[in-house]
Amino acid sequence: MELWHCTGRLHDDRELATSIGAIRTAVSRVLAKTRPRGLVVFAVADNHVHLLLAGSRENAGETMRRLQLSFHWHLDLSRTFERARFRRVVDREHLWRTVPYILKQVGRHQIRTDPAWEGSALHDLLGMRVPGLGLRARLLQFLPRLKEHTLHSWLGVGDDVLGAWDDPVPVDHLHLVAEAAAAAYAIPTLRAPGRRGPAAIRAACGAIDPTIPPIVVATQLGVSPRTVRRARMSRVDRVAVRAVRRQTWLRVGLARTRDLLGPESLEAVDPVYLPVER
């Protein structure tokens, strides 16, 4: 099966998604429109998008067309897109170069509005985003030797974070959970319309240490204590709870890095410069 590296950007290099809410919306559209059509990995940067698609050249072209229309509808863009660019991946070595190149786009361009690299499919490959949980299995079809620790290194997740990766969130980090849950469902906030907002709240409640009083949790999530109690009694998929926990612990790691290295720490620890492991 052919693989195509596709790039789309707006005319005049106008911005595509600069706020974290817009980035999450763009990611949501990428997953909705391209995952059924052969998506392998992707990255949303501030003014362009990269996709790796499996299938024919015709499929890649039609997929990019549909995605660009969806971006215009959901992101209220003022400019049209340039003609999309397509490059066929010619062999395995080319693929090993292309995958990290795409996944590390946020760090490569030092996009400060996306410190957690939410625009990268690394979040989906590491079980941190619910709508994209199937992408890892698809990528492993093409790169079966790709190791999980390699993906961790590309995202800059250290041993200190991995030690608590799937642990319940303690009260000290409760203030990070609302954003973590929104990120896990690729929605701007927990108040987003539709089903994902309530689902994210339930997963957030399941991710938190159950001994924390409902009123404390409710204050941080912006909901009522009754909502927290009902969420704790409801059945929530374990993968969704795990996604919220991992999003939270990633943010704990980012906060620790800033405390240690100062406000310029994003460039100082940019994992785009880590060597490619196989």
pLDDT one-digit tens code per residue, 219-236: 999 999 999 999 999 999
Angle in degrees, 0-180, between the axes of helices 238-261 and 177-184, rounded to the nearest 10: 130
| For range 185-192, the mean pLDDT | 96
**Residues 100, 71: one domain?**
yes
| Residue 187 and residue 125 share a domain | no
Per-residue pLDDT, 252 = 94
Nearest-Å Rg of the Cα atoms of the chain is 19
Q: Crossing angle for the helix pair 214-221 and 177-184, nearest 10 degrees?
A: 60
| Last residue of one domain, picked from the residues 109, 130, 155 | 155
Is 9 found in the same domain as 138? yes
Least Cα distance to 164 among 256, 229, 26 occurs for: 256
- The yes-or-no verdict on residue 261 having pLDDT over 80 is no
Q: pTM of the entire structure?
A: 0.90
* Domain span including residue 175: 171-261
Domain count across the chain: 2
* Residue ending a domain, choose from 155, 187, 214: 155
Mean pLDDT of 23-27: 96
